[in-house]
């Protein structure tokens, strides 16, 4: 790889690290070409980008990202692939599904909104993280619950009593 190609690759990686808040660093060594192609296809279907890069280029790209304090240098050894995703748990779910038949690829580290998770044992934790949309849906459901209870109370038999009380108060004035 020429110096110019390295500079271009660093810039491309830097742009990806700036674009995505979530990335996973894996070691896919030992996967066959067909397995890697299947992994890439699965990533594409789920909206996750996967690319292989040299460790030194990844380190330099991360160093150039403004406001980045992500130190995953201990995980950058050996062959490295990087998953980039808008949804924090999607690469974890992909890895968990893909690994049902083997232990590959191995998770080295992950950065979820600047929080670092290191080690292959973190896949289960990462795959179970709730996405932003899932958390918002839960909050909305919690907020709707009391309102639904009030409305159903008004519409039920107690609702007739409440309506009668309101009517009686109106007639008093």
Query: Residue 39 sits in a domain of what CATH number?
Result: 3.30.70.1730
**Sign, Cα dihedral of 86, 116, 81, 94:** negative
Same domain, yes or no: 124 and 137 = no
Closest CA to 46 of 127, 114, 113, 108: 127
Last residue of a domain, one of 112, 129, 146: 129
pLDDT at 53: 94
Same domain, yes or no: 119 and 138 = no
Cis previous bond, 105, omega within 30: yes
Q: pTM of the entire structure?
A: 0.76
Same domain, yes or no: 56 and 76 = yes
pLDDT at 51: 95
Residue corresponding to tokens 């330099």: 60
- Report how far apart the first and last C-alpha atoms of the chain are (Å, whole number): 88
Q: What is the mean pLDDT of each run of 10 residues along the chain (173 residues)?
A: 94 95 93 93 96 94 81 86 94 93 91 89 88 80 74 61 72 72
Q: How far apart are CA 25 and CA 110, in angstroms?
A: 6
Same domain, yes or no: 122 and 140 = no
Start-end of H helices in 20-131: 33-46, 55-64, 90-98, 123-127
Same domain, yes or no: 12 and 62 = yes
Range of the domain at 60: 3-129
Same domain, yes or no: 97 and 168 = no
Same domain, yes or no: 90 and 123 = yes
Same domain, yes or no: 116 and 148 = no
pLDDT at 149: 66
Q: How many domains does the chain have?
A: 2
Q: How far apart are CA 135 and CA 131, in angstroms?
A: 6
Same domain, yes or no: 137 and 116 = no
pLDDT at 72: 85
Local structure of 124: helix, strand or coil = helix
Same domain, yes or no: 28 and 107 = yes
């Amino acid at each position: 790889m020429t110096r110019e190609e390295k500079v271009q690759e660093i810039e491309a990686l830097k742009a990806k690290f700036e674009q995505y808040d979530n990335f996973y660093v894996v070691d896919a060594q030992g996967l066959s070409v067909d397995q890697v192609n299947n992994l890439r296809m699965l990533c594409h279907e789920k909206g996750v980008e996967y690319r292989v890069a040299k460790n030194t280029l990844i380190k330099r790209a991360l160093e150039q990202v403004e406001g980045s304090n992500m130190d995953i240098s201990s995980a950058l050894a050996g062959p490295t692939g990087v998953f980039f995703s808008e949804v924090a748990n999607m690469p974890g779910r992909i890895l968990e599904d893909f690994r049902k038949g083997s232990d590959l690829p191995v998770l080295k580290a992950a950065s979820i909104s600047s929080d670092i998770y290191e080690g292959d044992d973190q896949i289960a934790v990462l795959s179970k993280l709730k996405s932003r949309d899932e958390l918002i849906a839960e909050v909305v459901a919690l907020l709707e619950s009391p309102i639904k209870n009030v409305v159903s109370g008004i519409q039920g038999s107690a609702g007739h009593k409440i309506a009668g009380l309101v009517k009686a108060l109106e007639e008093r004035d």
